[in-house]
């Protein structure tokens, strides 16, 4: 028998799993929760492909204790969840809903009791609808109100919760919500997109300050960013231009203000940006005000990287870049599967941005899982996906990138936005009719990885 080498991770490596409020909680109108833009969006015909919504989702709002037991069974070291702003402040501002705070308080205590480190995220797409009615993220006031919300939750949980994530995927909030319209609030407006981008980033800065002030002790605060390494579709020099554009458009537009304190120059010097800024200035207040970038770039304690796939792009005049679908590659129900992209991304981030603490805050794959006759859920494709990506994290560590943890998306099957319940990402299978949970083979496999603190090559 040949000996296979063990790949071990650093002693305190943080093995986790992630979820978000709207995708798992349900209980949409219970105990004083106010409406969010996703409640509204799902009710507009044609927005969600399946016509579904998150009204009851995985019913985590009632089954949280069972879910914490499952986390404990897997042996998770950390759990990343999001707080629903509308449970804490049902109209987004003003009156605080005690029942909402109590819910997260109980959850946090249950996690701590099991030795699972909580990583709450303050915003995972579910803006209070009343704030949308006042202009949403394109309105600068929303950034300030987000800071106020952070202060409320920070004051309640900041005595026990050490790690916080302000925003999940600011780019998605701004661009899918306001440019492509795939996400709530479903706008297609370039002015709104640019304004939303800046205000979401600004709100991150306000929240960072507010959390630290409210907790009255040092906290670890970061943000979780969707990042995609870009590759040229061919060796043509124009395709290299497309790579530069895509990288700026998806990655640097968020990374540079947060980590370098400025927007990428190839963007700000372009006529499109100038046109948008001038247009915005005429419509309302100056978009980027004095000190905004200082607030945005306040040092984070860690940077979360959500990685699913890469972008392979071709140059096209006017739009600059078009995504292609490489042949002979492997695809999931949603995206190309490209594990080395995670290594490329982490090493590039380390080289260019030099932050001391990177965290893979999401990584996972949708698989059309079913419960087999033996009662199990056999998902070898997910195991392979996770394994191949975890090996890339190890490669990055070996190359000197300080990566402190890895979170699987997701703990539970859940409401996958425009795809409804048709995309299962969980380590735990959820029967959405009965809400019954079944630990998948991947969940058992991940438990073993955590116990071994590594895997065999």
Q: Cα separation of 386 and 109, whole Å?
A: 29
Binding to ligand FCB by residue 369, rule CB under 6 A?
Answer: no
Minimal distance, residue 95 CB to ligand FCB, in Å: 28
Beta-carbon contacts of 357 under 8 Å, excluding residues fewer than 6 positions away, are 222, 301, 302, 303, 402, 404
169 assigned to active site: yes
Of 111, 105, 87, 109, the closest CA to residue 156 belongs to 105
Cβ burial of 187 (10 Å; 0-12, 13-18, 19+) is: buried
Minimal distance, residue 167 CB to ligand FCB, in Å: 10
Q: Which of 20, 53, 139, 394 binds ligand FCB (CB under 6 A)?
A: 20
| Residues in 409-448 that interact with ligand FCB by CB under 6 A | 409, 416-417, 425
Q: Which is nearer to ligand FCB, 292 or 362 (CB)?
A: 362
Minimal distance, residue 270 CB to ligand FCB, in Å: 26
Binding to ligand FCB by residue 169, rule CB under 6 A?
Answer: yes
Q: Which is nearer to ligand FCB, 79 or 315 (CB)?
A: 79
Could you tell me if 68 and 110 are in contact, meaning their C-beta atoms sit under 8 angstroms apart?
yes
Strands 302-306, 358-362: pairing is parallel
Beta-carbon contacts of 35 under 8 Å, excluding residues fewer than 6 positions away, are 86, 128, 129, 130
Q: Cα separation of 345 and 331, whole Å?
A: 19
Q: Quickly count helices (H) and strands (E) in the chain.
A: 18, 17
Q: Segment near ligand FCB (CB under 6 A), from 168-176, 337-345, 374-382, 446-454?
A: 168-176
Q: Segment near ligand FCB (CB under 6 A), from 33-41, 166-174, 249-257, 343-351?
A: 166-174
Minimal distance, residue 364 CB to ligand FCB, in Å: 7
Minimal distance, residue 446 CB to ligand FCB, in Å: 17
| Residues in 273-312 that interact with ligand FCB by CB under 6 A | 306
Could you tell me if 186 and 47 are in contact, meaning their C-beta atoms sit under 8 angstroms apart?
yes
Query: Residue 27 — left, alpha, or beta (φ > 0 → left; ψ -120 to 50 → alpha)?
Result: left
Q: Which is nearer to ligand FCB, 140 or 204 (CB)?
A: 204
Catalytic residue among 25, 169, 277, 336: 169
Binding to ligand FCB by residue 256, rule CB under 6 A?
Answer: no
- The rounded Cα 381 to chain-centroid distance in angstroms is 22
Q: How far apart are the first and last CA of the chain?
A: 15
Q: Which of 129, 132, 168, 442 binds ligand FCB (CB under 6 A)?
A: 168
Total number of residues that touch ligand FCB (CB under 6 A):
12
Q: Which is nearer to ligand FCB, 172 or 174 (CB)?
A: 172
Q: Which of 239, 256, 362, 379 binds ligand FCB (CB under 6 A)?
A: 362
362 assigned to active site: yes
Of 16, 4, 59, 10, the closest CA to residue 364 belongs to 16
Minimal distance, residue 427 CB to ligand FCB, in Å: 14
The first and second tokens of residue 374, run together, are 């033996």
Q: What angle do CA 172, 201, 344 make, to 5 degrees?
A: 60
Residues forming the active site: 169, 362
The residues of the shown chain that bind ligand FCB, judged by CB under 6 A, are 20, 23, 168-169, 172, 226, 306, 362, 409, 416-417, 425
């Amino acid at each position: 028998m040949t000996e296979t080498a063990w790949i071990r991770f650093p002693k305190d490596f943080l093995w986790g799993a992630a979820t978000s409020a709207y995708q798992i909680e349900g209980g949409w109108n219970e105990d004083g929760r106010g409406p969010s833009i996703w409640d509204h969006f799902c009710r507009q015909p044609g927005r969600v492909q399946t016509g579904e919504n998150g009204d009851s989702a995985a019913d985590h709002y009632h089954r949280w204790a069972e879910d914490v037991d499952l986390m404990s069974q897997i042996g998770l070291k950390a759990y990343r969840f999001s707080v629903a702003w509308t449970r804490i402040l049902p109209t987004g501002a003003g009156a605080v809903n005690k029942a909402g705070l109590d819910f997260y308080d109980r959850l946090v205590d249950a996690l701590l009791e099991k030795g699972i480190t909580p990583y709450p995220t303050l915003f995972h797409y579910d803006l209070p609808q009343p704030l949308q009615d006042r202009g949403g993220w394109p309105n600068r006031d929303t950034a300030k109100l987000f800071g106020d919300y952070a202060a409320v939750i920070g004051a309640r949980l900041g005595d026990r919760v050490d790690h916080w994530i302000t925003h999940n995927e600011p780019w998605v909030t701004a661009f899918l919500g306001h440019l492509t319209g795939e996400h709530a609030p479903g706008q297609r407006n370039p002015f709104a997109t640019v304004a939303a981008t800046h205000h979401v980033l600004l709100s991150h800065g306000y929240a960072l300050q507010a959390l630290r002030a409210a907790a009255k002790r040092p906290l670890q605060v970061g943000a979780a960013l969707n990042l995609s390494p870009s590759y040229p579709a061919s060796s043509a020099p124009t395709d290299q231009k497309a790579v530069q554009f895509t990288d700026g458009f998806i990655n640097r537009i968020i990374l540079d203000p947060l980590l370098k304190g400025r927007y990428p120059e190839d963007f700000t010097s372009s006529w499109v940006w100038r046109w948008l800024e001038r247009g915005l200035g005429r419509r309302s207040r100056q978009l980027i005000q004095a000190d905004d970038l200082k607030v945005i770039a306040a040092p984070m304690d860690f940077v979360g990287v959500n990685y699913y796939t890469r972008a392979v792009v071709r140059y096209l005049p006017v739009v600059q870049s078009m995504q292609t679908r490489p042949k002979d590659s492997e695809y999931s129900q949603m995206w190309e599967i490209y594990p080395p992209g995670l290594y490329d991304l982490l090493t590039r981030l380390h080289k260019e941005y030099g932050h001391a603490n990177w965290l893979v805050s999401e990584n996972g794959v949708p698989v059309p899982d079913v419960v087999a006759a033996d009662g199990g859920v056999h998902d070898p494709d997910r195991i392979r996906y996770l394994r191949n990506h975890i090996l890339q994290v190890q490669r990055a560590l070996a190359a000197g990138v300080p990566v402190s943890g890895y979170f699987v998306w997701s703990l539970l099957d859940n409401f996958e936005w425009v795809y409804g319940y048709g995309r299962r990402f969980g380590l735990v299978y959820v029967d959405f009719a009965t809400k019954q949970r079944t630990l998948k083979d991947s969940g058992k496999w991940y438990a073993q990885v955590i116990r071994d603190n590594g895997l065999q090559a």
